[in-house]
A and B are shown apart, each in its own frame.
Chain A
Amino acid sequence: MSHYFSEIFTGGKSLLVGLGVTFKALTSPVVTVQYPREKIDISPNMRGHIDLIKDSESKNGLHRCISCGLCARNCPCSCIVVKGEKQEGVKGKVLKIFTLEFSKCSLCGLCVESCPTSAIDFSDEYELAAFSREAFNFDLLKRVQQGDTK
């Protein structure tokens, strides 16, 4: 019988100890953030979708890509398409098509690492939601031409 009561006692005590922890948290500062009204700073190293870096000092005044296609070849998900063209009077190739099918991308970073001229980098966009797959077919060349990149 005494065992029965002592068990009730220890059980009640352990509950109170646990509740004590919860009550202490009641008075501690708030840690939650009211997204989307409030946003926290994200790490600059976060991997968003890839983007061509804008570089006005490069040869074509826009980006450093030399259309070598290494990024497309190294991508395990085959989501990059790069096409360059020879043009009169310009050394090397001129980038004509650079698209990314982001819905397939696994954000592994192999493309960024393989680029010989460091022409691409991860963007810091994370609010990407859409109703169709096609919305994730990004034309990166157009983005850099329009100045949408960082």
Chain B
Amino acid sequence: MSLSTELVKILNAVEIKAVEADYKKQGYHVEVLLNKDQVRDFSKIMLEKEFYLDFVTAVHIESGFQAVYQFGHFEESCHVNAKAVTKDGTIHTICDIFHGANWHERETHDFYGLKFTDHPDLRVLILDEEDADLNPLLKKENKLKSLEKITRSEESQDKPAKSVKNKAAAKIREKKAKPEVKSEDKQDDKPAESS
């Protein structure tokens, strides 16, 4: 039994939602969806199973934050990606279990203002102290997306594909009508022009 299958079984036994992922497409073997309060139990299992911490980060979404934890294994090829949604901007620290998480959590706190409760030392790490409240990776209201929009699902894979076509066609029409090209009005949602 491969490590990823075994891990999914272990996690499911303690009521943590885990599924095997498509490595070719996603780049990790196991996807774990955590509740906010399962983070510590989950990381203890990971330490027991001799995983190492890849990184900790967060994604800013409409309803709050999605904390992302990625683990890897030194002996076997197994990457585990765990996500936990937190609505109130706090989540429990795991830095007493994985000591490397200390800096990753401090960095996430710098960039997002996400509070890791019981973290021993949540000073700014990368930013300047004057900019401690800057939280540069927080998105503006109009750029924020809901969790569904950034999660992989069968329908969401079909739908944008269609709208892409329409959008691209609209762009071409637009271009024909208005041949003037200005370099200044760079927009974010322009289609990529690959050579």
Residues of A within 8 A of B (CB): 68-70, 72-75, 78, 80-82, 93, 110, 113-114
Contacts and interface: CB of A to CB of B under 8 A. Distances in A.
Contacts of B173: none
- Could you say which interface size class chain B belongs to? under 10
Contact of A74 (B179, B182, B184, B193): B193
Contact of B181 (A69, A110, A113, A114): A69
B195 A69 contact: no
Contacts of B182: 69
B165 interface: no
A110 B190 CA distance: 16
Nearest to B179: A93
A109 to B, nearest CB: 10
Contacts, number: 27
Interface string B36-73: 00000000000000000000000000000000000000
B186 interface: yes
Given A68-B181, A82-B181, A73 B186 contact: yes
Given A72-B183, A75-B183, A78-B184, 10 more contacts: A69-B182, A70-B193, A73-B181, A73-B186, A74-B195, A78-B186, A82-B181, A82-B183, A114-B193, A114-B195
A128 B184 CA distance: 26
Contacts of A78: 183-184, 186
